Amino acid sequence: GVNMQSPNPSENQITIRGISPEAGWASAVGFYLDETPITEFAIQPSVTSFDIERIEVLRGPQGTLYGEGSMGGTIKVIPFEPNVNKMEFKFDPEFSNTSNGGLNYKVNGMANVPIIKNKLAVRATGFYQNDDGYIDNVGLDIKKVNTFETYGARFAAKYIATKKLVITASALISKSKIGGQFVANTDLKQTTSTRETMNDNMSLVNLNAYYDFSFASLTITGSYYERKTDQVVDLGFFLPEANGLFEMFGIEPRTGLWTKNNSDYKVMSAETRLVSSGNGPLKWTVGAFYKNYDMSSKDVGDSEAHLSGEEVSFIVETIFGIPGITESFYNDNTRKIQQAALFAEVSYDITEKLNILGGIRLFNEQRNFSSYSTGLFPILMSGGFLPLEEVTEKGSENVVNPKVTLTFKPNNNIITYITASKGFRSGGQNVYAYLFEGAPTSYGAETLWNYEFGVKSVLFNNKVIANAAIFYNNWTNMQVRTRSYASLTATENVGKAHTSGVDIDISWMPLKGLLFSANGNYTIGKTDDVFNLPAGVDENTGEELYEEVPKGTQLPFVPEYGINLASQYKFKVGKGMFLTPRVDYNYTGKSTTALLYSEENPAYQTINLRISYEYKWVEVYAFADNVTDERVKQTYWYDDVDLGTMYAMGRPRTIGIGFRTRF
């Protein structure tokens, strides 16, 4: 099963088969846009779905061909390539209205133009989306605070130089703006001491060369990816303590506290891949990969009204005897990571029905982290133990990721397989270790072995497609949040766990145009060790207290059940005219939020309706998403004294119409 938690459209945490980044900065799921890895950390950006040829979901560790970060699986978003044979255009406007919100609209367009027929073409795509908010911030008296706007363009060129050489180049620019977090109670209300806005700018450039040697094909690809975000984070939870302190020093109480985070991620990657050609029993892939990751992140805090440097200095020097502190909140941290890998896969047809595949990836990673914090609030939070100097950490990983798959084809319609594969996720630095006594300043990598048996089949004269897989994931050196202060956390490696379950996908076409599909998953995630996690400090002795997490405790963010059902019927209503009604049902089971002091992420379900009319190159459609206006409580967030339990809240009922052209 694939699940996603999202406090806003630019921060997506993806879980596959119960493998989620419960803690740590690195992603547990690989994310690729065409040939480019954009898995820069545990929260993934949004990517437009317009002019996308297909989305591939590769379940289970993909550590042989895709490396670090593909521990739970890999998602590949593959856009359409430029078409060198003919001119193409697309134009897709859409308008909708959201319950408790307002008007949403988006416009997408694409032009494909051959410059030299059969040799050279360019493809340009543009997109714009503006969604009204549906959550009211009662603390700031702002209606529909969680607005979302995104726009951008993608340009691609394809040059068929010879029958053997093909060169493609592409560039993507995307900008997003969020008016407030998508976090609310069931009445769709939130309260913060400041507006939590976010700007997210992404750019990507890729150059790809393909050459056919007859015996094998060579692909060389290079990419540069950059993502810049600036985000306001509310610190209103600290206001009572802060205002109590201000009162002691005769300073007027403040109505808001926040930090503004500015982050810049720069990733350069390159890969060379040689894949065998021909229909012989032996097939192979060999390659090399390199990635250079450079991240800088700064947090600058302030209050409403502004707290002067003189006021900050007076408070800090009086209480802690530390002179010269003039910032309210300042944190600066960097990550510099270099990765290099060699990989190979070899498959051999033992018989016409039996195939064996073996793969290996040799991976090396070098990490350099640094952080520096100062200011009134970090010093207060740390109890005066803040290290007022740069803290540096170095780390490295040398990992061997193997894979073995045995495939048996009893006939042309059925494939069975059994596989064992290994994946891993990098370690990192605890930037806020100074807040927690005894917290380590860094943590190591975690690894996972996947054991899987599956069946893929096409039955009853191609009317039924049925796929199923049973899996068991053995998770070691698991990264877990062991300490937290509001949204600030520390991570440690604590022990072993596992996930196991079943994935089922079935589609049935009993009549021409009539389709029924169902996919579901059953997943269990449990700890295999007894974890002793920090549980506060003894008020009398000052010693750190620990609480036992029993063996068999449910892993966080692992819904036991997930179900997706769909049905559609495309039928002719006139010459060249078709009508297609469709209904989708989605169910996500409940899950937990942590190993210790856990809250519940409730189960939720949605029903979507759609009907479309097609005539030649034109399609008109109407839709109703979340037609029952379900409160989609994706993730528990926190408990508010006045408003109750807050959740990352999905979109309420949205009704709209759209228009598509293809010519």
Q: Give the pTM.
A: 0.90
**CA-CA distance, 368 to 362, in Å (whole number)?**
21
Q: Give the mean pLDDT of 550-554.
A: 93
- What does the pLDDT average to over 486-495? 76
* DSSP conformational letter for 309: H
Residue 278 vs residue 197, higher pLDDT: 197
**Residue 640 to residue 504: CA distance in whole angstroms:** 39
Largest CA distance in the chain: 86
Phi, psi (degrees; rounded to nearest 5) at 309 = -60, -35
The residue ranking higher by pLDDT, 138 or 303, is 138
Q: Give the integer Cα–Cα distance in Å for 494 and 654.
A: 43
Q: Is 587 exposed, middle or buried (0-12, 13-18, 19+ CB in 10 A)?
A: middle
Residue bearing the bigger pLDDT, 635 or 281: 281
User: In 3-state terms, what secondary structure has residue 243?
Assistant: helix
Q: Per residue in 3-39, pLDDT tens?
A: 776 667 877 778 888 787 766 677 788 888 888 888 7
pLDDT digits (tens, 9 = 90+) for 431-461: 777 667 677 878 888 899 999 999 999 999 9
Q: What was the pLDDT predicted at 1?
A: 67
Output 339-342 pairs: Cβ under 8 A, ≥24 positions apart: 339/67, 339/68, 339/289, 339/290, 339/291, 339/292, 339/293, 339/363, 339/364, 339/365, 340/288, 340/289, 340/290, 340/291, 340/364, 341/67, 341/288, 341/289, 341/290, 342/287, 342/288, 342/289
Q: Per the structure block, which two tokens stand in for 627?
A: 């037609």
pLDDT at 48: 84
Q: Which pLDDT does position 428 carry in this prediction?
A: 82
- Please tell me what DSSP assigns to residue 434: G
Q: How far is CA 629 from CA 100, 182, 267, 447, in A?
A: 10, 16, 41, 41
pLDDT at 285: 97
Mean pLDDT value across the chain: 90
User: 437, 431, 440, 426: which is closest to 369 by C-alpha?
Assistant: 431
CB atoms within 10 A of CB 518: 16
Domains assigned to the chain: 2-662 (2.40.170.20)
457 residue type, one letter: S
Other C-beta atoms within 10 Å of 12: how many? Answer: 18
**Interatomic CA distance for residues 267 and 292, integer angstroms:** 6
Euclidean distance between CA atoms 315 and 242, whole angstroms = 11
Report the number of secondary-structure helices (H) and strands (E) in the chain. 3, 42
